Structure 1
Amino acid sequence: MTTIAIVEGDGIGHEVIPVARSVLEALHPAYEFLPVDVGYGMWERTGCPCADKEIDALKTADAILFGAVTTPPMKDYQSVVLRIRKALDLYANLRPVQGDGFDIMIVRENTEGLYSGIEESGPDRATTLRVVTRKGTERIVRSAIRLAQQRSGRLTIGHKANVLKSDVLFRDICTSEARSAGITFNDKYIDALALDLLQHPAAYDVVVTTNIFGDILSDVASYLVGGLGLAPSANIGDRYALFEPVHGSAPDIAGRNIANPIAAIRSAVMLLDYLGDKDGACRVEIAIGTVISQGIRTRDLGGLAGTREFGDAVIRVIRKNR
């Protein structure tokens, strides 16, 4: 039996993840769903946002559907997302950006870089250690190369080697691996890349970069498809996989049934594809497009549909097109 861990998290996660779960249930009623509670709300109740037992529960699942979590600005609060990524070694963050005439996959190193978690904080100075290792770089660029070989065969390496010595190492390893694989590649400074990707998205296929640069670049690229409310992501390791919308927990709109669930639903699409159900993934994407073409849209897209109502419309299309 296929088991999907369901982590609603905080804020609008409690609204968009149940919609995405319902989509999965419509396609696969035999799936077993395992609720796992982590996040700021968990910390308020127990004093711990993510304990060992929650990590162990996530490890029992075939895939994880994850909502957004709130990370308060307190120095003694451990980031749930970083802990899970490290505990499950989810080293590849995949963020697709697809639109009219372009299909980009941003591949972000997910376990080190400026999100290494090695930090010090005092009254007059705070320091975060940016870590780039040969092992971490080799495995992320090899993942990007495999994706490029499955697609159009073009790889772009994003870095800031003109300023950061750690990015010299990242760039040199990436270019060496790309040459060895015989793949077409180029490299760009990350600031110039961000601008050019917005101006000429069709020129890009697979983009690989470091942790924080990938975080920022993929958020910037979401402009091409209508914003963060439509952007999904996957966090992939050798043993585990977690799928989550790119957007945050948005506490300012939580509980109002106005959040856009498309990013969460598309994260479920990536989950289906990971589990080998490419037909189901395609059906859900078609259903999303059909519902939007019918004029059923959430407020951020200029419509009046609520979170649940949009999800119900997607499910109706899925069931109609069996």
Structure 2
Amino acid sequence: MKLLLLPGDGIGPEIAAATETVLRAVEARYGLGLSLTRRDIGFAALEAEGTTIPDAVIAEARGADGVVLGPVSHNAYPPVSAGGRNPSGVLRRELELYANIRPALSRPAVPRPVSAEVDLVVVRENLEGFYADRNMHEGGGEFAPEPGVGLAFRKVTARASRRIAEAAFALAETRPRRRVTAIHKANVMRLTDGIFLAEVRAVAAAHPGIDYDELLVDAAAAHLVRHPGRFDVIVTTNMFGDILSDLASELSGGLGLAASLNLGPSYAVAQAQHGSAPDIAGQDRANPVSLIGSAAMLLRHLGAGAAAASVEAAIDAALSSPETRTRDLGGALGTRAFADHLATLIVES
């Protein structure tokens, strides 16, 4: 199993190193034939090669069984013309990673802002919508025709809507509650969200064993806070999915625990759901669970289910006690010590 590790910016190198520690423990325990290759992206690559994601890295990603992608500080990059491309967006386009799978799961011992338990998955369309760096064949989807005026295009296609709906219903088939909720704003964006809903409804009709309903995005945000248990699998467009998945993750314990997996027809990229947090970079304070949990999702996708389960069980065990949590959760462990603890749990399981 060949994995490409791209640490990224800010806390990225620290949580990538922690993830590597855990993956090497998995290899020692399960003998997967795991091969890990590390390559620079972000500011390190910009300084060395003049671009935040070299073409050689994209080629290596295509040649790997999976990619583990750390957070990047793309808002601080120079213009694209000066090499400042968003590695996340580039990989999503180049590898056709159309589905972003973002689970949110509360754990009894981890503090959270609501008492209700959260157990849901957001299935987010990943390649169009209001994302200016990935919804146009040529040029950007955002421009200024004159000073003080900005315009943005939102692209929603029947093909992409059908594809993400099929991914959501396939996932719901594997979950006990077998329920899909489509989130939209078709009362305002009647054409674009109308296309999205028409395709989701067609897929729902082909899955009569799955409960299906629809909610406006503003109502969905309210229901997530008031009654998150009504949701099982959420399917939605790109920007709505980005926002709602962050909300669901915070309600379940925080973005530091939020795993995610980007999937396409041929490739898969595990990615921390949070940002690069440059304010705590280099201080051994970052919680690496998001990226480690994402790597576990990747292992499961690649057929190493037992190994993935051991990582997730180790995370649950470590989070169950304040003594073995990271500092952001009221614990005593730094990034490296937490990863070492997980590795010990995996090897000894």
Q: TM-score, normalised by structure 2?
A: 0.88
* Range 94-103 or range 307-316, more displaced: 94-103
Is the CA contact (8 Å cut-off) linking 2:25 and 2:344 kept in structure 1? no
1:169 to 195, 201, 216: 195
For each residue in 1:92-116, what CA deviation from the matched residue of structure 2 results, as whole angstroms up to 9, or x when unmatched?
0000011254421100000011114
2:98 to 91, 101, 114: 91
The answer to whether the aligner puts 1:309 opposite 2:337 as a matched pair is yes
- Is the alpha carbon distance of 1:298 and 1:58 closer, same or farther for their aligned partners in structure 2, counting shifts above 3 Å? same
For each residue in 1:64-106, what CA deviation from the matched residue of structure 2 results, as whole angstroms up to 9, or x when unmatched?
1110011135553332211110000000000001125442110
1:78 to 85, 110, 113: 85
User: Which amino acid in structure 2 is aligned with residue 207 of structure 1?
Assistant: I
- Is the alpha carbon distance of 1:159 and 1:292 closer, same or farther for their aligned partners in structure 2, counting shifts above 3 Å? same
Report the count of equivalent residues. 320
SS of alignment partner, residue 260 of structure 2: strand
1:103 to 90, 95, 119: 119
SS of alignment partner, residue 120 of structure 1: strand
**2: CA distance, partners of 1:99 / 1:139:** 28
User: Which amino acid in structure 2 is aligned with residue 51 of structure 1?
Assistant: P
Residue 134 (structure 1) aligns with: 158
Percent of residue pairs bearing the same amino acid type? 40
Residue 297 (structure 1) aligns with: 325
* Range 74-83 or range 104-113, more displaced: 74-83
Is the CA contact (8 Å cut-off) linking 2:259 and 2:273 kept in structure 1? yes
- Is the alpha carbon distance of 1:225 and 1:102 closer, same or farther for their aligned partners in structure 2, counting shifts above 3 Å? closer
The answer to whether the aligner puts 1:153 opposite 2:156 as a matched pair is no
Which runs of no fewer than 5 residues in structure 2 stay unpaired? Answer: 108-116, 134-140
The answer to whether the aligner puts 1:49 opposite 2:48 as a matched pair is no
Matches within 5 A, 1:1-322: 2-29=1-28, 30-72=33-75, 74-76=78-80, 77-99=84-106, 101-117=117-133, 118-121=141-144, 123-151=147-175, 152-164=177-189, 165-182=191-208, 183-294=210-321, 295-321=323-349
For each residue in 1:235-258, what CA deviation from the matched residue of structure 2 results, as whole angstroms up to 9, or x when unmatched?
000100000110101111100000
Superposition RMSD in Å = 1.5
- In the TM superposition, residue 167 of structure 1 has moved relative to its aligned partner by 1.0
**1: CA distance, partners of 2:246 / 2:72:** 17
User: Which amino acid in structure 2 is aligned with residue 158 of structure 1?
Assistant: I
**1: CA distance, partners of 2:149 / 2:74:** 21
Is the CA contact (8 Å cut-off) linking 1:138 and 1:177 kept in structure 2? yes
* Range 129-138 or range 165-174, more displaced: 165-174
For each residue in 1:34-55, what CA deviation from the matched residue of structure 2 results, as whole angstroms up to 9, or x when unmatched?
1122113322333211122111
Is the CA contact (8 Å cut-off) linking 1:36 and 1:57 kept in structure 2? no
Which runs of no fewer than 5 residues in structure 1 stay unpaired? Answer: none
SS of alignment partner, residue 48 of structure 1: coil
**2: CA distance, partners of 1:12 / 1:90:** 24
Q: TM-score, normalised by structure 1?
A: 0.95
**2: CA distance, partners of 1:42 / 1:160:** 40
**2: CA distance, partners of 1:116 / 1:124:** 18
* Range 174-183 or range 129-138, more displaced: 174-183
For each residue in 1:147-190, what CA deviation from the matched residue of structure 2 results, as whole angstroms up to 9, or x when unmatched?
11121221000011111131121112211221222232000001
**2: CA distance, partners of 1:75 / 1:119:** 14
**1: CA distance, partners of 2:132 / 2:230:** 31
* Range 307-316 or range 41-50, more displaced: 41-50
SS of alignment partner, residue 181 of structure 1: coil
**1: CA distance, partners of 2:153 / 2:255:** 28
